[in-house]
């Protein structure tokens, strides 16, 4: 019996599954130069490498998710740099403006619409606390200014404004007039405290901190120069801690004072020179705030005020050069004020009668 052998079938090895798209093919630009897409390896020179399958790159995150991560990163940077300044927040806002939702406004501190911080605003707020003082004595009449510090009529002024006075009249900014009596004086500091008779409900000034005053700060002066009640001038602090020497009017030199022109201002010394007349043998020196705010005779005892409406000094001396005919000229921007911290340190003693 003859065996018949069945013909052997050809063997076909299993094929890999077909990719969802055709493999990327190299691009030939010129003989010898082949570009392989998708960041594949460059074949060695002269060799032929068949096309290979490159797995597709992961799908990119949705744009809105990437934007959120970017905003979060920038916000973290802004928080970390907050101590450096406000510029970081602006930078973050600019960088994220394209991706962040549109906002209806910009957050931050709004500029106040009030007049605080302006000369007009300061004048309106403080003028009711500044008074005109008229002091009568056997040697004549003097006019100065004062600052109300309590609602029941305590008023601070310069000692030289009321020294030796037999009677004192005080006119408020609203025109109402009161009689006043001396509570205490301190000739060494050229300060005095008087009290209105029968007054109540007055607007008291706010006493600031003269240690915070800096050269260049804007200031306002309010007083009654030449009897012009409630006159407002402004300027800057031009120097600090000036040694100013003034006549220590303790009531013993009243006759000698009559040689001064009352319109020329209280005599004082500064930098080794005398201004507005002879200060005499009885004098005192204090550290003063110098200002170029216009001060004239009658401003003595009035207020030097910062732009927050706080009293930082009591105006006490100014230089007014005399003209050739002997009459006084106006302010030349050389005025001095007793720092308010000097007043605050002396206030209890003044209330107890002072050092007179």
350 neighbors 185 (Cβ within 8 angstroms): yes
Give residues with Cβ within 8 angstroms of 251, minimum separation 6.
163, 164
CA angle 139, 143, 147 (to 5 degrees): 135
Q: Which of 186, 190, 249, 346 is catalytic?
A: 190
Clarify whether 300 is annotated catalytic: yes
Between helices 63-80 and 87-95, what is the axis angle to 10°?
170
CA 150 to chain centre: 27
Give residues with Cβ within 8 angstroms of 301, minimum separation 6.
133, 144, 145, 146, 147, 156, 157, 158, 161, 223, 314, 315, 316
Clarify whether 190 is annotated catalytic: yes
Most confident residue range from 62-66, 120-124, 278-282, 284-288: 120-124
Cα atoms in the Cβ-side hemisphere of radius 13 Å centred on 68: 4
For tokens 């600019």, name the residue. 94
pTM of the model: 0.63
pLDDT for position 141: 84
Q: How confident is the model at residue 164 (pLDDT cuts 50, 70, 90)?
A: confident
Clarify whether 160 is annotated catalytic: yes
Q: Which of 142, 145, 160, 163 is catalytic?
A: 160
d(CA 292, CA 221): 10
Closest by CA position to 279, among listed 319, 300, 248: 248
Q: Which of 300, 316, 320, 331 is catalytic?
A: 300
* pLDDT above 80 (res 125): yes
Weakest-pLDDT range from 96-100, 102-106, 158-162: 102-106
Which helix or strand (DSSP H or E) is residue 345 part of? helix 340-351
pLDDT in tens, 172-206: 999 999 999 999 999 999 999 999 999 999 999 99
Which helix or strand (DSSP H or E) is residue 193 part of? strand 191-196
């Amino acid at each position: 019996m003859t065996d018949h052998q069945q013909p052997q079938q050809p063997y076909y090895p299993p094929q890999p599954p077909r990719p969802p798209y055709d493999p990327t093919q190299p691009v030939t630009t010129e003989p010898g130069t082949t570009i392989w897409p998708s960041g594949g390896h460059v074949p060695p020179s002269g060799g032929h490498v068949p096309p290979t399958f490159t797995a597709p790159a992961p799908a990119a995150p949705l744009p809105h998710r990437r934007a959120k991560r970017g905003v979060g990163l920038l916000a973290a940077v802004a928080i970390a740099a907050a101590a450096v300044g406000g510029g970081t927040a602006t930078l973050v806002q600019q960088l994220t403006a394209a991706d962040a939702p549109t906002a209806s406004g910009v957050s931050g501190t709004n500029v106040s619409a009030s007049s605080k911080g302006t000369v007009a605003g300061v004048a309106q707020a403080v003028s009711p606390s500044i008074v005109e003082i008229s002091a009568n004595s056997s040697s004549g009449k003097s006019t100065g200014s004062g600052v109300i510090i309590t609602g029941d009529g305590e008023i601070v002024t310069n000692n030289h404004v009321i020294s030796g006075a037999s009677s004192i009249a005080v006119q408020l900014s609203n025109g109402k007039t009161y009689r006043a009596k001396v509570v205490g004086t301190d000739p060494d500091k050229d300060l005095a405290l008087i009290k209105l008779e029968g007054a109540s409900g007055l607007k008291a000034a706010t006493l600031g901190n003269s240690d915070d005053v800096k050269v260049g700060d804007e200031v306002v002066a309010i007083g009654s120069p030449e009897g012009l009640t409630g006159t407002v001038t402004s300027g800057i602090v031009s120097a600090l801690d000036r040694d100013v020497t003034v006549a220590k009017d303790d009531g013993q030199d009243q006759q000698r004072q009559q040689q001064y022109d009352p319109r020329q201002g209280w005599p004082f010394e500064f930098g080794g020179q005398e201004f507005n007349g002879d200060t005499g043998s009885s004098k005192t020196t204090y550290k003063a705030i110098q200002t170029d705010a216009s001060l004239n005779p009658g401003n003595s005892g009035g207020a030097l005020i910062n732009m927050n409406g706080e009293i930082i000094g009591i105006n006490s001396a100014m230089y007014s050069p005399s003209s050739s005919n002997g009459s006084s000229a106006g302010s030349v921007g050389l005025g001095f004020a007793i720092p308010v911290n000097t007043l605050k340190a002396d206030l209890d003693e003044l209330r107890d009668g002072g050092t007179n």
